[in-house]
Structure 1
């Protein structure tokens, strides 16, 4: 671990420059022995910063999804408005044509007089039917014109409102994006202000804390009901496909707001994996927790989603045997981690009615699948890999 930490500290001048601008709230004095800030205090600070960054990231993701939907709605309404205006233009043309015809052929003689004076009354009656149909057609044309104008007016108002909503969402997206950047800058400033010895101490504390949490979790029997046992149930066909997709992403970098194919954030990975399996699920971890079917940890099967932290701000995919695949946090890569690497909130299943496979074979993991930091947001920072 210390080697990776040393490499992280020396990755570039950018973090070194941040030492000069570090926030006073997190300023750490030069190493002077026992007088340095305790690791527990640093862990608490980093935990709070990462949690806030994760919350801001999911807010950004949710806003981005709403903006995407709103743009599609604006496009749809503009298309409908264009068609309505074309219909109004056609109706106006037809109405003008009827007006010209009526003007050119007008007469003061009543149709009944025409009928009485006609040499062939039956022919006059037939002509009357034709005239009646023409009158009905004219009335229908006028009705279409009036209705079309009303529809076009309503669509224009809706399109205007939808555009205003889009503009407001775009502003909110920018605000959320700036918030994420600010949160992550705070993390970088704090990390850059630490000495190599402090970073090594943080890494050890993080690893020890995660290992202890995993050990206690498995002994509790939360996964199976029997302490120390973590049997793997077979997934559904789609769950297997989603898991296969996630495994193939191992090693790709975390990037907030990303949903593939080159990089992912936590919910970007889980939503894209299930989409690849033919099942669309919500984009954000909060919506995945809110909308998908809850499932007991004792009934977990590969492909299920594990949600973390009280506000559901982190999510991973269950691999089996007490392990998950996740995109942990900025500076890390998609990897395999212990299920208890973060405080669990619960689990959800995208396809609760699907039957488990009978011929399930666990996926073969690539080399180095567990390499790198295990903790997601809410834990201390790990070295960049």
Structure 2
């Protein structure tokens, strides 16, 4: 299926479904209405995006786990070196003790000595050596215990990494299966059906946008972004026209949360990678207080995210077959909005970033 046909279908707006179960058996495409086809296609897109965000979440866990394995490997290498040094010191003290042994107790040596003070001085040295030996033995035992504990932790961390890698492979296959379902459905449609889908979808989005604007849910005042928010918006706008690709974080392609996370990374405020984590961990902000740079999250399970530009528009990486573009904020069912930098004040007024007409 060519990207041209995929791009014929714009961003869908339908009632949000609570579950993402596989599609039931449906009639042939020519026996379904445009509304039914749109519902089926939107469901496939949403299932694919949820699978993509799940894959992204596992990828982030795997990245952290690999870093933990590397950290433990480094710590284990240092522990082994320390253990080697402790064993060497213990062996040296053992040789010294054997070589200086006289077979006489310190009391006998004191009684037979011509200079008792010298013997007492020697005893002080011997005591110091004994304490050093005890410390060396303690250090040796501690090094051995630390190495054993690190070996167990490193083995456990590596096992966790292997499990995550296996899970990621299964999730990758799931995304590819769902993408194939989209390709199959679109390939079954005629050019006339595709045109009808695009028209109905555009009308639906326009109606939803008009409703949210007239309801007063969005502020009519033009809010200024923070300095970091302005940088994030400028970065996202620089990516216009680049293709959507699941799991991508740029610079040549993006998925929805890949675009928003990279934009804020370049603005100097790292945020979570996935849309679900962005919704869960960032500060919530009412829609009527949105400012450019804020993130608008969609669907009840937070499976899509876009960046607010102002004037009721967002920039987003929409879905497979599409490209990074500016869209109406109501292009999908809105869950809410979050702000990556709630403590930052708005920047000084400046010339707005140029935005293409949509």
TM-score by length of 2: 0.91
Q: Structure 1 residue 119 and structure 2 residue 114: aligned?
A: yes
In structure 1, what is the equivalent of residue 187 of structure 2? 192
Taking the TM superposition and a 5 Å limit, the aligned residue runs for 1:330-341 are 330-341=320-331
Match for residue 273 of structure 1 among 257, 263, 269: 263
Structure 1 residues 219-258: aligned runs within 5 Å? 219-224=214-219, 230-258=220-248
For 1:6 and 1:332, locate their aligned partners in 2 and report how far apart those are by CA, in whole Å. 7
Separation in 2 of the partners of 1:6 and 1:339? Answer: 21
Task: Provide, for residues 21-63 of structure 1, a one-character-per-residue CA deviation record: whole Å limited to 9, x for no partner.
Answer: xx9945636x6xxxx3100110111121111111100000000
Gaps of 5+ in 2: 10-22
Residues 202-226 of structure 1, C-alpha deviation per residue, up to 9 Å, x if partnerless? Answer: 01011110111101110010012xx
| Of 303, 326, 338, the match for 1:313 | 303
1:132 CA drift (Å): 1.3
Within the candidate set 205, 214, 219, 2:200 is matched to 205
Query: 2:23 matched to 1:28?
Result: no
State yes or no: 1:133 paired with 2:128. yes
| Counterpart Cα distance in 2 of 1:78 and 1:310 | 41
Counterpart pick for 1:101 among 87, 96, 100: 96
**Aligned partner (choices 360, 375, 378) of residue 350 of structure 2:** 360
Query: Residue 285 of structure 2 corresponds to which residue in structure 1?
Result: 295
Q: Secondary structure at the match of 1:262?
A: coil
The alignment's C-alpha RMSD in Å is: 1.9
Say if 2:133 is the partner of 1:143.
Answer: no
Shift of 1:119: 3.1
How many Å separate the matches in 2 of 1:174 and 1:70? 16
Shift of 1:74: 0.5
Correspondence for 2:68:
73
Q: 1:6 touches 1:196 (CA, 8 Å); kept in 2?
A: no
Distance 1:8 1:351, change over 3 A: closer
Which sections of structure 1, spanning at least 5 residues, go unmatched? 10-22, 225-229, 371-385
CA drift at 1:130: 1.7
Are 2:341 and 1:351 equivalent residues in the alignment? yes
Deviations 1:86-109 (A, max 9, x none): 111111111111112222222221
